[in-house]
Amino acid sequence: MLLAIGVLIGLALGLTGAGGSVFAVPLLMLAGLSISSAIGISLGAVATSALYGSLRITLSKKSVRKILWLPGAILAGTGAVTAPLGKWLGLQMPEILLLLGFSALASVIALRMWLSASRHPEATKVVRVGDFKDTPQPDSLCKLSTNGQFQLRPRCLSGLIIGGALVGLLSGLFGVGGGFLIVPLLLLLSPISMAQAVSTSLLIIAAISSSGFISHLTLSPGNDWQLLGLAAGGGVLGMIIGQAISHKITGARLQKIFAISLLVVSSITLLRYFL
């Protein structure tokens, strides 16, 4: 069961440009885990899957040029600092409040995925396990210099720091990867392609989720390593499967299916808690 859920987590993370890893927590709760345990295992599974995807990108000669190393490092570093704070806050909150907060977040992410697929269907073909083909570059607040290096102007730097802190906090609190914020933030701050934003986001997700998972191990006693191993192994397998089939099934329709599925799964999880 946990292996199958891990595969679904890896597929969702790999086959969406942003927002896929939020599937992890409700799926793990449906398997019988408490929300605290689900968040911890989710962080571990997402971190492992994202790390595999990051290594694949880094070792690929075609993809490595797509990664924005400097802004990615700032987002990842800031998020890695605040992720343990998010995990600590989650342990102080009543379980019902944490579940309601997660359901609200999942609804916002699902809505954003649906709207993005409707308004920019071409962008949905750029996914984390794809071949990172170029997409049209959007207008932005900051500009790249003539030599192609990211310029750390005050407005850009403050945006990266604030955005990274928020992503880390939400990641530790709810066990999500944060791609739903990372990708639009990168697109907003710099004139880059969707391929660059998506490939860079995977590195950031790996760093932030790893920090959140380490804080989970530190703050939460009695961790089940067998469950984590199954979920993490399934996540990597899901990424590999996604890589093999991404060129055939990605697109606006798939992203809308993910959005609807996320709403259904999170709603069922919430209903089961009360019933």
pLDDT per position as a tens digit, 164-214: 999 999 998 988 877 778 888 887 777 777 777 777 888 898 899 899 889
pLDDT per position as a tens digit, 49-66: 888 887 877 776 555 456
Average pLDDT, rounded, for the chain:
79
Residues 165 and 102 sit within 8 Å (Cβ to Cβ):
no
- The domain in which residue 26 lies consists of 2-274
Q: What is the mean pLDDT of residues 245-253?
A: 69
pLDDT band at 36 (very low <50, low <70, confident <90, very high): confident
pTM of the model: 0.81
pLDDT of residue 246: 65
pLDDT band at 127 (very low <50, low <70, confident <90, very high): low
Structure tokens at 145: 């210099």
pLDDT of residue 18: 57
Tally of structural domains, the chain: 1
Classify the C-alpha dihedral 72-169-138-23 as positive or negative: positive
- Whole-number Å distance between alpha carbons of 269 and 260: 14
Structure tokens at 88: 């600590």
Q: Is 144 helix (H, G, I), strand (E, B) or coil?
A: strand
Show Cβ contacts of residue 14 under 8 Å, excluding neighbours closer than 6 positions. Answer: 20, 49, 53, 127, 128, 129, 238, 239, 242, 243, 246
Lowest mean pLDDT across 54-58, 119-123, 148-152, 187-191: 148-152
